[in-house]
């Protein structure tokens, strides 16, 4: 009984290899027929040296307006993610460097941003609209994104401020933008 085991293992491995190779050949033929493998990944623009466009685009003479007609802004991207996958992972973070990532869902992020944006208007007294500018100072983290999303929901302009800019630059930006 045990004498046939090595032959069975070799035959199974060989059969698996043939199966994978045939699947790859079929997939590769499909890519070649679609022209995907024949296109460059990036094509330098003739009229703008150093500017590249995706080689995947079939018509490189026409700019891409939108890949998705429903999505025109980053807020639209978020809202589409919320609509398609409300309980899906949206923002990930590590509570501590060696701990596993934790994730907030699209719904959790939306609700936190909605509540924070409402508080900016009702409690702090900011006026919704593009004339209002809010500076957000901090590291990249879920709270930064939620704060930015809250402002966008209220049509408030965001002025990102980073500690890497230094105190003189931050002071200058605050004065120039007349933010709150």
Chain segment 12-46, per-residue pLDDT in tens: 666 666 666 666 666 566 555 555 455 566 777 78
Whether 83 and 5 share a structural domain: no
Asked whether residue 18 falls in the same domain as residue 78, the answer is no
Residues 47 and 105 in one domain: no
76 and 112 inside one domain? yes
What is the number of domains present in the chain? 2
101-147 pLDDT, tens digit per residue, is: 999 999 999 999 999 999 999 999 999 988 899 999 887 889 999 99
3 state SS of 160? strand
pLDDT at 137: 87
- Provide the residue range defining the domain that includes 98: 65-180
Judgement on whether residues 136 and 88 belong to the same structural domain of the protein = yes
CA angle, 156 then 159 then 164, to 5°: 155
Q: Are residues 112 and 175 in the same domain?
A: yes
Of 24, 46, 63, which residue is a domain's last?
Answer: 63
When pLDDT is cut at 50, 70 and 90, the band that residue 62 belongs to is low
Q: The domain spanning residue 152 has which CATH number?
A: 3.40.50.980
pLDDT computed for residue 21 by the predictor: 65
Q: What is the pTM of this model?
A: 0.64
Same domain, 59 and 69: no
pLDDT at 73 over 90: no
Alpha helices in 38-105 (DSSP H): 74-84
Residues 87 and 131 both lie in one domain:
yes
**Same structural domain for residues 74 and 6?**
no
What number of other Cβ atoms are within 10 A of residue 106's Cβ? 21
Residue 176 has pLDDT above 80, yes or no: yes
Asked whether the beta carbons of 137 and 159 are under 8 A apart, the reply is no
Residue where a domain stops, chosen among 63, 87, 114: 63
What confidence score (pLDDT) does residue 115 get?
A: 97
Q: Do 27 and 81 belong together in one domain?
A: no
Is residue 88 located within the same domain as residue 146?
Answer: yes
Of the three residues 15, 39, 63, the one that is the final residue of a domain is 63
């Amino acid at each position: 009984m045990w004498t046939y085991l090595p032959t069975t293992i070799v035959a199974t491995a060989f059969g698996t290899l043939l199966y994978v190779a045939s699947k790859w050949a079929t997939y590769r033929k499909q890519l070649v027929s679609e022209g995907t493998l024949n296109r460059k990944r990036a094509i330098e623009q003739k009229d703008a040296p150093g500017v590249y466009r995706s080689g995947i685009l079939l018509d490189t003479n026409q700019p891409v307006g939108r890949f998705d007609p429903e999505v025109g802004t980053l807020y639209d991207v978020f809202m589409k993610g919320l609509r398609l996958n409300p309980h899906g992972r949206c923002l990930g973070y590590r509570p501590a460097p060696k701990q596993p990532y934790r994730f907030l869902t699209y719904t959790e992020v939306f609700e936190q941003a909605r509540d924070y944006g409402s508080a900016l208007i009702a409690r702090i007294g900011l006026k919704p609209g593009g004339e209002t500018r809010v500076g957000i100072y901090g590291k990249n983290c879920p709270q930064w994104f939620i704060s930015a999303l809250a402002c966008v929901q209220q049509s408030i302009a965001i002025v990102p401020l980073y500690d890497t800019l230094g105190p003189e630059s931050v002071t200058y930006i605050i004065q120039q933008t007349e933010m709150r």
